[in-house]
């Protein structure tokens, strides 16, 4: 078997955790966990004001060093700009958290093509670009960890969210392949697969009117982040967060894909206005990001 070979790399610089999509939801909660563990952070997101606020909060609460990179990862040059800024600052990344991601609700043929291509870029191209760069450095040092944010839809085709689910299937396949390729190194990758979670995801996806958002219990992003953090630190290749989601994922593995798709469609279908039990995320950081976006879409 061909072993991975990169030039040996030595560095005495302190190591950092780089987290994309760090200003709300699961990314924000992961940043808090790493900060509580005393790890210097590099936070990446689109909104400068939100980045500054989160960085100040973490510095004050945990006394850690926090760098911020305000960049639009939807742009073709976004991921490379993150790499350039990290290199220019002389930072060494020993933990990469590929958290940034979005979806788009609707029947595929009726959705905007450019929006779907942007989602593929953010969820797949950016993730692959950052992984390739920082993984090479990790392998050269023979040390490092990478956490990818997948979804229970990594295992399930999802009508009304078809492109999003397909990108998350890519993330799971990619992560599992890398684990095998890295088995002779001390570098690990982990795929975190949450179900529907109390974040700003549904607003950005235009999916607040769906059955899953209006009627289903949502996972707490704090709990999801803890599951991902623990799995990453223990070197697990993947984890489905939450008992209900674990059962759903197990059933998905056993059922034909046509049945999986039918079940996913039923939860993604719209419900009658007025039947909603919720209209916005109750997670505080996600609520603040919604306000900062003014109802628009961000990273």
Give the residue with greater pLDDT, 145 vs 290.
145
Q: Where are the beta strands (DSSP E) in 9-143?
A: 15-20, 41-45, 66-70, 92-98
pLDDT computed for residue 5 by the predictor: 56
Strand ranges, E, within the chain: 15-20, 41-45, 66-70, 92-98, 144-149, 187-193, 238-240
Tens digits of per-residue pLDDT, 162-198? 999 999 999 999 999 999 999 999 999 999 999 999 9
Task: Give yes or no for a contact between 13 and 91, defined as CB atoms under 8 angstroms apart.
Answer: yes
pTM value? 0.93
| Cα Rg of the chain, angstroms | 19
- Residue-wise pLDDT for 262-298, tens only, equals 999 999 999 876 656 676 788 998 888 888 887 655 4
Q: Among this protein's residues, is 164 annotated catalytic?
A: yes
From the candidates 32, 168, 204, 229, give the one annotated as an active-site residue: 168
Question: Which among 164, 115, 190, 124 has a CA at the least distance from the CA of 264?
Answer: 164
Catalytic, out of 160, 164, 213, 229: 164
Q: β-strands 144-149, 92-98: how paired?
A: parallel
CATH architecture designation of domain 15-292: 3-Layer(aba) Sandwich (3.40)
DSSP helix/strand/coil, 77: coil
74, 122 contact by CB (below 8 A): yes
């Amino acid at each position: 078997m061909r072993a991975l070979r990169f030039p040996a790399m030595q560095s005495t610089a302190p190591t950092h955790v780089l987290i994309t999509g760090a200003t709300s939801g699961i990314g924000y909660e992961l940043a808090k966990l790493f900060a509580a563990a005393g790890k210097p952070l590099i936070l990446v997101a689109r909104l400068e004001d939100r980045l500054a606020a989160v960085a100040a909060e973490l510095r004050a609460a945990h006394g850690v060093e926090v760098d911020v990179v305000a960049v639009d990862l939807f742009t073709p040059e976004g991921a490379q700009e993150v790499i350039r800024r990290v290199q220019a600052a002389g930072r060494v990344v020993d933990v990469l958290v590929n958290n940034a991601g979005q979806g788009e609700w609707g029947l595929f043929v009726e959705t905007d093509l450019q929006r779907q291509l942007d989602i593929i870029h953010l969820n797949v191209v950016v993730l692959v670009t950052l992984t390739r760069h920082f993984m090479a450095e990790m392998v050269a040092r023979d040390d490092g960890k990478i956490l990818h944010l997948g979804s229970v839809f990594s295992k399930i085709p999802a009508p009304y969210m078809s492109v999003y689910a397909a990108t998350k299937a890519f993330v799971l396949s990619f992560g599992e392949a890398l684990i095998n390729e890295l088995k002779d190194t001390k570098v690990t990758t982990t795929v975190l697969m949450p179900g529907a979670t109390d974040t700003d995801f549904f607003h950005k996806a235009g999916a607040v009117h769906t059955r899953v958002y209006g009627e289903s219990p949502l996972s707490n992003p704090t709990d999801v982040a803890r599951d991902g953090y623990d799995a990453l630190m223990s070197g697990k290749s993947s984890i489905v967060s939450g008992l209900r989601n674990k059962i759903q994922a197990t059933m998905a593995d056993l059922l034909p894909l046509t049945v999986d798709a039918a079940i996913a469609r039923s939860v993604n279908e719209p419900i009658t206005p007025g039947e909603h039990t919720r209209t916005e995320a109750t997670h505080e950081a996600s609520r603040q990001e919604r306000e900062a976006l003014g109802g628009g879409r961000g990273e």
